[in-house]
Structure formats: C-alpha cells, structure tokens
Amino acid sequence: MSITYLEAIRAAQARALAEDPRVFIYGQDVGAFGGAFKATKGLAQEFPGRVVDAPISEDAMAGLAIGAALDGLRPILEMQFADFSTLAFNQIVNQAATLFWRTNVPCPLTLRLPCGGTAGSGPFHSQMLETIYAHYPGLVVLTPATVEDAYSMLLEAVAIDDPVIFCEHKFLYYHLKAEALPTEALPANEARIARTGRDLTIVTYSAMVHEALAAAEELRGEGWEVEVVDLRSVKPLDTDTVMASVARTGRLLCVGEAFPWGGVTAEVVARVVSEGFDLLDAPPMRLNAKDTPVPYHPNLWSAHRPTARTVAMAARKVLHS
C-alpha cells in the first residue's frame, strides 16, 4: 500500500468525522463532488449531513465556522485555494483569532488552505499565506511537509482549542507518497530534524523541505553534511530545536517559498540572532521566493521559488563564508 499527501488529508478528515461527532466539513464543492482536489472524496456519502457545500461566500463561510466552533462543534473549513482566504481574512484574523482572548470562549476551528505553487497555476492559485496569518495573535499556523504530518497534524489541528490555519501544499498532493499512515507523531508544535548534519543548518517548512533535502544530498557529494530542520509549525515556532541545531552547525540558511518581505525566514533569523548570536560562525542567510506575484509560465515559476539548485547555491555561500 502507498498513500499520498492528499490521501492522508482525506484519511485524517474521515477519521476525525468518525471519531468525533462534533466535527463537520464546510466548503465549496466539498460534498457529493468531494472537493476541487478530492480531499473530501466520498466523505459526504459516508457521513451524511456532515460534509456541507458552501456558497461562494468566503467571509460567511468563515463566520459560520466560527459560530459553530463557538457553540461547541469542531468545523473543518476548506478554502478551494488558499488565495481565496483573503476574502475571509477579516473573519479569521479579527473574529476567530480574537474570540478566546476577548471572551474566554474557545474557537476550535480548522481552516484548510491548499497553498503553494504548481507550474501553470499563476498569481492567484499559488500563494503561500502563512506569513499573514502567523502575524496575528490567536492563530496557530501549521505547515506539514510530509504525508505523515499531513495526517497527524490535521488530526491534531482538529483537536486544538484554537483556530488553526492548516497550510497544505498543493505541490505535494500527488507527488509525495508514504508506505502507510503514521500511528504516532510528534506534537504539532515541535520542529523535526529531517536530516542530520554538522556543517550547516537549513531551516525550512512545507514543500521547501524537499528542495532542502535534495540540496543537502547534492552537497553531500561535495563533502558537506547539511542538517535540515522542518519547522512543521510556523506559529508557534519551535525556536529550541532550531537553536540546538545551529549550536551544532554554527551556520544557518533559512528557506521559504513565501514572498521575501517578512515572514518565516525573517522571524527565524531574527530569533536565532537575538537569542543565539554567539552560536553563529558566519552570517545567516535567507532564501525566499522573488518579490513579484507568482508567475504562471512554468519557466518563470520555477525561477520564482527556491529550488534544490538555488538552495544548494545559497548553502554553498553560507558554507564558504
């Protein structure tokens, strides 16, 4: 048996629905159709009345999920593409995120955001949204990079008493496969050493973990041992694991697929240098997507985001400085 990242997401939802009567799924075309990416395939049939098609009303979709969470349910809200969550932005950052702090009533909702680029998807079906959500107090932002994490972290997202922004990466949907679903897992807020090494720490998350691993493999051929830290959760951010790795390697490269201003790479670098300045033997470096919208043409798209090749180039720079 082999299971994809996308199938893991479907399986996690099936299990959540089966185990917890408070769980339901709401989103455009998630019902009989099974969702634009088929992440809810068959679930409406298996769990009648609990997988509900929404009108094209992202603001009201989020509002409904918030109300239901407030009343004790555990909604999973699917955005058809992460990019459309900008229309629910206000409900998410101002209503969901502030609710517990303001009223002491938790708002346990999971917002599934199909994120990230694939060739030919263009500016409005490729965006990474973790930066803008992580900026707001009251949200948990998860960015699974593996099939196992897609599964276990989605289950944990549903269990968490806060609004969780679950950033699933579309590039991994079909490509990424595992032998089986995991039976145990790290807590969602702990980073993971995806590959050990002693010369350089690459901190990254989501699809970029695989580019970093490929770069590390390439650099191994050149005699370098590169450690790769998969953040898993970008908020909260597991600074401890990152610092421990940097303490071992003395060098830091931070890689993200988001736009370059602000975001995870800036936050990680800023934390490491303020809390672990003396651990560094060389200037830390960041590698992000370019500061333009995500291009549609595959030629441009693959130059816009970091890839194994550009990660390796950046890593060499840090290694040689």
Ligand X SMILES: Cc1ncc(C[n+]2csc(CCOP(=O)(O)OP(=O)(O)O)c2C)c(N)n1
Report if residue 84 touches other proteins, rule: CB under 8 A: yes
Contact region with other proteins (CB under 8 A), list: 133-141, 175-183, 197-205, 211-219: 133-141
Report if residue 187 touches other proteins, rule: CB under 8 A: yes
CA angle 239-240-244, nearest 5°? Answer: 115
Three-state SS string across 35-85, please? CCCCCCCCHHHHCCCCEEECCCCHHHHHHHHHHHHHCCCEEEEECCCHHHH
Q: Where are the beta strands (DSSP E) in the chain?
A: 3-4, 23-27, 51-53, 74-78, 110-115, 140-142, 164-169, 177-178, 192-195, 200-204, 226-230, 233-235, 252-255, 285-287
* Among the listed residues 170, 195, 235, 251, the single contact to a copy of itself using CB under 8 A: 235
Binding residues for other proteins, total number by CB under 8 A: 92
Report if residue 288 touches ligand X, rule: CB under 6 A: no
Report if residue 137 touches other proteins, rule: CB under 8 A: yes
Is residue 125 annotated as a catalytic residue, yes or no?
yes
Q: How far apart are CA 244 and CA 258, in angstroms?
A: 25
Residue nearest to ligand X (CB): 84
- Would you say 98 or 302 has its CB closer to a copy of itself? 98
Write down the H helix ranges in 71-207: 89-90, 97-103, 130-134, 147-159, 172-175
Q: How far apart are CA 164 and CA 155, in angstroms?
A: 11
Residues 67-106 that bind a copy of itself (CB under 8 A): 83, 86-87, 89-90, 93-94, 97-98, 101-102
* Among the listed residues 269, 311, 312, 319, the single contact to a copy of itself using CB under 8 A: 269
- Would you say 55 or 221 has its CB closer to ligand X? 55
Give the residues lining the site for a copy of itself (CB under 8 A).
83, 86-87, 89-90, 93-94, 97-98, 101-102, 123-124, 131-132, 134-138, 235, 237, 258-259, 261-267, 269-270, 273-275, 277-278, 280, 282-286, 290-293
